[in-house]
Structure 1
Amino acid sequence: MRLFPILAAIAVSALIYVFVLERDLLTGGAADEDDATAAVSDAPEVNADAPEDGSPSLPGVVVQRSTAREIDSAVILRGQTEADRQVEVRAETSGQVISEPLRKGTFVEAGQELCRLDPGTRAASQAEARARLAEALSRLPEARAKVPEAKARVSEAMARVEEAKSRLNEARINQNAAQKLSEDGFASETRVAATEAAVRGAEAALVSAEAGLETARAGVEGAAAGIEAAKSGVESARAAVAAADREVERLTMTAPFAGLLESDTAELGALLQPGALCATVIQLDPIILVGFVPETAVARVELGARAGARLASGQRTEGTVTFLSRAADSTTRTFRVEIEVPNPDLAIRDGQTAEIIIEAEGQMAHLLPQSVLTLDDEGDLGVRVVTEAEEARFIPVTLLRDTPEGVWLAGLPDTANVIVVGQEYVTDGVRVQAAFAEAAE
């Protein structure tokens, strides 16, 4: 019972061997020549560049040999034009306008009349102030003349004091002599009493002379005080005249500088109060280009640097940097820069948008196609190059300028083999097979 299954398995194995492994023998030998050609044409193509040892082939990339060149590293900004000066001329006193108005757009010279107010009684006040000044000036010589008179009185009083002192000394000598003679019995008591009375009279005369001297000295001080009072009166009168003259000057409002009227002057008959607007004057020659430099580029801008601008209208102009702020804007963290531009024909208006280019120090850079730019795993902008070891390497770069011919990049060596095709399919350290392309002009 067990022998039959074993013989059946052996027979099936023999048949499989014959049909699979010995197929050529069953079909009559080798295939003909046409079948052999078809088999060769259907075979997969062998990579000619594959290493003979059977290792995988290197990825192919296209490389451009680039050499750095020096370019003008200009700072490019967007800004606007501003008038060099703009002033609102306002009234400093009240009054009714009595001058004909000037229309906006009129060119005015420095000092030209813009508005004139009715003087009213200001002329009379001015004349009164001048009359008071003349009166105060006339009092000053009179006050000065009293000083010599007072000094003469002092000298006279001093002489009287000296005279009184001499008489007092004489009276005292006579008194001493009378007393000594009276003691010896040679003079009567009446004579002694008379000498004593003379002494008292001399003492009284001395007191009176000294009092007169003090009065005379007080007169000198009074005369000096009169001079100071006269001087104060003169200064007060002069101040009143100056105030009256200034009030008259305020009646006429003039242009502070040559420029254009941005608004009509005050209308004839209008009542102006202090602070009321007469006219707005702007100066457009020279005109100022205003931009804001980011803090990353502020170190490249210098005072006196040449600058150019293209207005929104297409007009081009040139000037020099005259101001660079030392303090950044608290919101934008940018620095204000001003460029002075000649504008003799007043063709450039206030408030026009401008694209500003400021000249900066030259910098070495490579001109490459924009397509070579790529990002690394950290998101840094750069390019991939082929090293001397024929390995790919990522180098971060700085984009300086975008032109129709390509982009100017900084950060690469003076000479670099930049991958222009295939940079997205290799990573740092991977060996590549490079094929060189022509460099951009």
Structure 2
Amino acid sequence: MKFISVLSALFVALTLYVLVFERAALKSFATTGDFGSLVSAISSPEFTLTQPPNAEQSEPEDTTDVTLAAMSSGNGAAGTTDSEAQSGLPMKAGTDSAVQSELAPPKNASKTGRNQEPVKVVAQQSEARLVDTAVVLRGRTEAARQVDVMAETSGKVVSVPLRKGRMVTKGQELCKLDPGTRMATLADARARLAEASARVPEARARQDEAQARLDEAKINNNAALKLSQGGYATETRVATTQAGVRAGEAAVQAAKSGLESARAGIQSAEAGVAAVEREIEQLTITAPFDGLLETDTAEFGSLMQANGPAGGHCATIIQLDPLKLVGYVPETEVNKIVIGANAGARLAAGGEAVTGQVTFISRSADVKTRTFRIEIQVPNTDLRLRDGQTAEILIASDGAKAHLLPQSALTLNDEGKLGVRIVDTNSLAQFRAVKLLRDTPKGVLLTGLAQSATVIVIGQEYVIDDVEVAVTLSEIAQ
């Protein structure tokens, strides 16, 4: 048993030795399967003495020392031996001109380590031109007006319903309600008005009577005062006549108040009559403007309540002529748009094109999107456009100079910025960031380049900044 333990310990020690000190030989054995080279490497005393631990990770100066040690052991100074080549020992610096020339950088290499041989590319000579920088945004069509026609009073519908999709004109009857007892209420209100009107002459007569009595009291008072001055009337008589004057004045004031009350009664009765008449008018619900019925009108026999759960809904009307195009412009482009600017749109469904003018620009941005609402009015006499259709809107703005280039010329740099690669005066490729104005059938309109630029259109993905290129110009009509 002790013998087996000793053999196991020796095997483990040998394995660890090979893994630590003979890693190169072990890798060679794993690659080629040559077991003899592994055994010769392990049993070589010269290799074991001259190769330090972790020889693969030693610095260049340590490698030189190992090589000198191997040479001093009798292998000579005229280059490396076969055993050194097989064992993977590094060669002494300066001993082999062929090795030095192989390690030296190539003569045609640049300082940055890149090959200076020009890369062949295809480029286009482009000139900036003045283009219409339209503001492009996504939007939708919207009815000029949309109203839910509601009942203002309660009652049962007694009219035949109109079906949705029908054109209606302003003032056309949509729903009619049963008047019920409203006609009797109107007659009562008118009777009260007549009664109030009859009270006015009576009140006016009472006022005239009170005024006459006041005048009589004043005459009696004046006579009593004159008689009292001559000693022919007592002070009691004078006081009595003065009291009569004051009573007459009070009677006149009361008569005036009665007359005003009678007149107020007339106004109240007139208001009552007008209220009943207005309620009777509200029994007939009419269209507020020319438009299209979006829903059926209320069914015959249904009960409409102004304050009910349904809200007394009679019908929904929309006005589609003219139609509105609604979009939201980012704050970076809102200053490019003015009221009255020409605008066009292409509908997503069918690709139909429409034109109009900007009629509204919001002064307040949306809190969530930080965009501004704009409205464009377009004619829709034949009602071919519908409410809620998606549209691509273009709004005219001041022109700007841009380059028309093929879309294939666009590329991204290491930072993810959109741009193109140009050729400078030294025939070196350079990246230039650009801004995309819009896409056209002939290419893309870009800003951010000089007035004249040589833009790489083929091969830009195979070069980086400061790489020399061999340009083949491609003339593309702009």
Report the TM-score range of the alignment, normalised by the length of the smaller protein: 0.7 to 0.9
- Secondary structure at 1:144 match in 2: helix
- Secondary structure at 1:343 match in 2: coil
1:251 aligns to 2:283 (yes or no): yes
Tell me what 2:443 maps to: 406
Tell me what 2:305 maps to: 273
Pairing of 1:409-420 with structure 2 (within 5 A):
409-420=446-457
Larger RCO (CA under 8 A, 6+ residues apart): 1
Q: Deviations over 1:336-377 (max 9, x none)?
A: 222212111111122222222222222210011223223344
Q: Tell me, yes or no, if the aligned pair for 1:294 and 1:333 is still in contact at 8 Å.
A: yes
Tell me what 2:263 maps to: 231
C-alpha distance 137-269 of structure 1, shift in aligned 2 (>3 A): same
C-alpha distance 57-120 of structure 1, shift in aligned 2 (>3 A): closer
Higher mean C-alpha displacement, 204-213 vs 78-87: 78-87
Tell me what 2:354 maps to: 317
For residues 214 and 381 of structure 1, the distance between their equivalents in structure 2, rounded to whole angstroms, comes to 102
Tell me what 1:220 maps to: 252
Tell me what 2:126 maps to: 66
Tell me what 2:227 maps to: 167
For residues 134 and 378 of structure 2, the distance between their equivalents in structure 1, rounded to whole angstroms, comes to 18
Q: Tell me, yes or no, if the aligned pair for 2:117 and 2:468 is still in contact at 8 Å.
A: no
- Secondary structure at 1:143 match in 2: helix
Task: Tell me the amino acid that sits aligned with residue 384 of structure 2.
Answer: A
How far did residue 381 of structure 1 move? 2.0
Tell me what 2:337 maps to: 301
How far did residue 383 of structure 1 move? 2.3
Q: Tell me, yes or no, if the aligned pair for 1:112 and 1:254 is still in contact at 8 Å.
A: yes
Task: Tell me the amino acid that sits aligned with residue 272 of structure 1.
Answer: M
Q: Deviations over 1:258-286 (max 9, x none)?
A: 11111111111112111321111111111
For residues 394 and 469 of structure 2, the distance between their equivalents in structure 1, rounded to whole angstroms, comes to 42
Task: Tell me the amino acid that sits aligned with residue 125 of structure 2.
Answer: R
How far did residue 393 of structure 1 move? 3.7
Higher mean C-alpha displacement, 419-428 vs 352-361: 419-428
Higher mean C-alpha displacement, 304-313 vs 414-423: 414-423
How far did residue 432 of structure 1 move? 5.2
- Which of 142, 145, 155 is the equivalent residue of 1:82? 142
For residues 361 and 255 of structure 1, the distance between their equivalents in structure 2, rounded to whole angstroms, comes to 43
Higher mean C-alpha displacement, 107-116 vs 322-331: 322-331
Q: Tell me, yes or no, if the aligned pair for 1:165 and 1:202 is still in contact at 8 Å.
A: no
C-alpha distance 76-147 of structure 1, shift in aligned 2 (>3 A): same
Tell me what 2:6 maps to: none
1:203 aligns to 2:235 (yes or no): yes
Pairing of 1:12-91 with structure 2 (within 5 A):
57=117, 61-91=121-151
Q: Tell me, yes or no, if the aligned pair for 1:399 and 1:410 is still in contact at 8 Å.
A: yes
Tell me what 1:135 maps to: 195
Task: Tell me the amino acid that sits aligned with residue 385 of structure 1.
Answer: I
Tell me what 2:384 maps to: 347
Tell me what 2:320 maps to: 284
C-alpha distance 286-433 of structure 1, shift in aligned 2 (>3 A): same
Question: Over alpha carbons, which structure has the higher Rg?
Answer: 1
Percent identity, aligned pairs only, is: 56
For residues 271 and 57 of structure 1, the distance between their equivalents in structure 2, rounded to whole angstroms, comes to 91
How far did residue 245 of structure 1 move? 0.6
Tell me what 2:371 maps to: 334
TM-score with structure 2 length normalisation? 0.70
How far did residue 309 of structure 1 move? 1.9
1:107 aligns to 2:167 (yes or no): yes
Q: Unpaired runs of 5+ in structure 1?
A: 1-12, 14-46, 172-197
Q: Tell me, yes or no, if the aligned pair for 1:372 and 1:420 is still in contact at 8 Å.
A: yes
- Secondary structure at 2:234 match in 1: helix
Task: Tell me the amino acid that sits aligned with residue 409 of structure 2.
Answer: V
Q: How many residues align?
A: 363
Q: Tell me, yes or no, if the aligned pair for 2:116 and 2:468 is still in contact at 8 Å.
A: no
How far did residue 214 of structure 1 move? 0.3
For residues 221 and 179 of structure 2, the distance between their equivalents in structure 1, rounded to whole angstroms, comes to 64
Q: Tell me, yes or no, if the aligned pair for 2:329 and 2:374 is still in contact at 8 Å.
A: yes
- Secondary structure at 1:92 match in 2: coil
How far did residue 399 of structure 1 move? 0.5
Q: Deviations over 1:393-423 (max 9, x none)?
A: 4332110112232211012122222233454
Q: Deviations over 1:232-276 (max 9, x none)?
A: 111111110111111101111111111111111111111211132
Higher mean C-alpha displacement, 149-158 vs 284-293: 149-158
For residues 117 and 293 of structure 2, the distance between their equivalents in structure 1, rounded to whole angstroms, comes to 79
Q: Tell me, yes or no, if the aligned pair for 1:368 and 1:409 is still in contact at 8 Å.
A: yes
Tell me what 1:188 maps to: none
Tell me what 2:209 maps to: 149
TM-score with structure 1 length normalisation? 0.76
Task: Tell me the amino acid that sits aligned with residue 124 of structure 2.
Answer: Q
For residues 413 and 259 of structure 2, the distance between their equivalents in structure 1, rounded to whole angstroms, comes to 93
Higher mean C-alpha displacement, 333-342 vs 141-150: 141-150
Task: Tell me the amino acid that sits aligned with residue 303 of structure 2.
Answer: L
- Secondary structure at 1:330 match in 2: coil
How far did residue 332 of structure 1 move? 2.2
Task: Tell me the amino acid that sits aligned with residue 321 of structure 2.
Answer: D
Tell me what 1:242 maps to: 274
Q: Tell me, yes or no, if the aligned pair for 1:368 and 1:440 is still in contact at 8 Å.
A: no
Q: Give the CA RMSD over aligned residues.
A: 2.6
For residues 188 and 362 of structure 2, the distance between their equivalents in structure 1, rounded to whole angstroms, comes to 53
C-alpha distance 315-56 of structure 1, shift in aligned 2 (>3 A): closer
Tell me what 1:4 maps to: none
For residues 252 and 179 of structure 2, the distance between their equivalents in structure 1, rounded to whole angstroms, comes to 47
